[in-house]
Amino acid sequence: MRLSDIGVQLIKSFEGLRLNAYKDSAGVWTIGYGSTKYENGKAVKPGDLLSSSIQADKLFEHTLTRYEDAVNEGVKIILTQNQFDALVSLTYNVGPGVMSNSTLLKKLNAGDVTGAADQFLVWNKITDPVSHEKISINALSKRRFLERKLFLT
């Protein structure tokens, strides 16, 4: 499966467009629509700049494939488009490695769709770059609520 237009707009609305490199809430250098690496695999670094939203869109499309593939490879049951879109959005945010070992994925592959949906709400924390403690982030709580809602529709 591939992300629908609804899924694309969902992720873009959560990530926002930034043409200048910035540190996200977890302290990771990010650019465009939440990309942390370029097409060549190099990491985003301070001072990086994208020339236009067109360049950001191309980087997003390239970046997105990795997360779509991770969901396609990890999920062993048939998904609706909305479920797929919600899972790609979550995976785009937490990373394929985290998703592949998650309780959410285990529950989903066991056929516990409601249990899997409830697991979206668990992923609302970051590791504070200073204290190294897990802290809840309001923006992530909102994102997880909306992803869960999409997953269940």
pLDDT tens-digit readout, 99-126: 999 999 999 999 999 999 999 999 999 8
CATH of the domain at 48: 1.10.530.40
Q: Which residue bears the tokens 């060549």?
A: 40
Number of domains the chain is built from? 1
Q: CB under 8 Å to 18, separation ≥6 — which residues?
A: 30, 31, 32
pLDDT digits (tens, 9 = 90+) for 11-48: 999 999 999 999 987 789 999 999 999 999 999 999 99
* Dihedral in degrees, nearest 10, Cα atoms 89, 92, 95, 96: 80
Confidence of residue 128 (pLDDT cuts 50, 70, 90): confident
Task: Find the domain containing 33 and state its range.
Answer: 5-152
For residues 137 and 126, give the distance between their C-alpha atoms in angstroms, rounded to a whole number: 7
What pLDDT score does 25 carry?
Answer: 78
86 Ramachandran zone, left/alpha/beta (phi>0; psi -120 to 50)? alpha
pTM of the model: 0.92
Q: Is there a catalytic annotation at residue 15?
A: yes
